[in-house]
Amino acid sequence: MSISKIGNIPFAIQNPPASPAVQSTKENDEQTDVSDNTVTISPESWQKLKKNDDAKAEKRDALPKHIKDMIKAIERIIEQIEMAEEMLEKAKNAEYSDEKTKQAVVDSQQSFLNSLEIARYDAIQALQEAMKEAGIEDVSIITDLMR
Q: What is the CATH number of the domain that holds 139?
A: 1.20.58
Per-residue pLDDT at 27 exceeds 60: no
Long-range contacts of 119-122 (CB under 8 A, 24+ apart): 119/77, 120/74, 120/77, 120/78, 120/81, 120/145
Q: What is the pLDDT of residue 102?
A: 93
In a domain, 101, yes or no: yes
Q: Residue 92 is part of which domain span?
A: 65-147
Distance of alpha carbon 122 from alpha carbon 127, whole angstroms = 9
Per-residue pLDDT at 8 exceeds 50: no
In a domain, 94, yes or no: yes
List the one residue out of 146, 137, 147 whose CA is nearest residue 67.
137
Q: With left for phi above 0 and alpha for psi between -120 and 50, is residue 15 left, alpha or beta? A: beta
Contact present, 37 and 106 (Cβ < 8 Å): no
In a domain, 60, yes or no: no
- Which range (16-30, 80-94, 113-127) has the least confidence? 16-30
Per-residue pLDDT at 21 exceeds 90: no
Per-residue pLDDT at 5 exceeds 50: no
Per-residue pLDDT at 69 exceeds 80: yes
In a domain, 9, yes or no: no
Rounded to whole angstroms, what are the CA distances from 51 to 47, 48, 58, 63, 139?
6, 5, 10, 19, 19
Contact present, 67 and 136 (Cβ < 8 Å): yes
In a domain, 73, yes or no: yes
Per-residue pLDDT at 65 exceeds 60: yes
Selected residue with higher pLDDT from 31 and 74: 74
In a domain, 128, yes or no: yes
This prediction has a pTM of 0.61
Rg (CA), the chain: 24
Q: What is the pLDDT of residue 35?
A: 53
Per-residue pLDDT at 121 exceeds 70: yes
Q: What is the pLDDT of residue 58?
A: 77
Q: What is the pLDDT of residue 115?
A: 97
Selected residue with higher pLDDT from 111 and 37: 111
Counting the structural domains of the chain, the total is 1
In a domain, 137, yes or no: yes
- Phi, psi torsion values for 131, nearest 5 degrees: -65, -40
In a domain, 133, yes or no: yes
Q: What is the pLDDT of residue 50?
A: 72
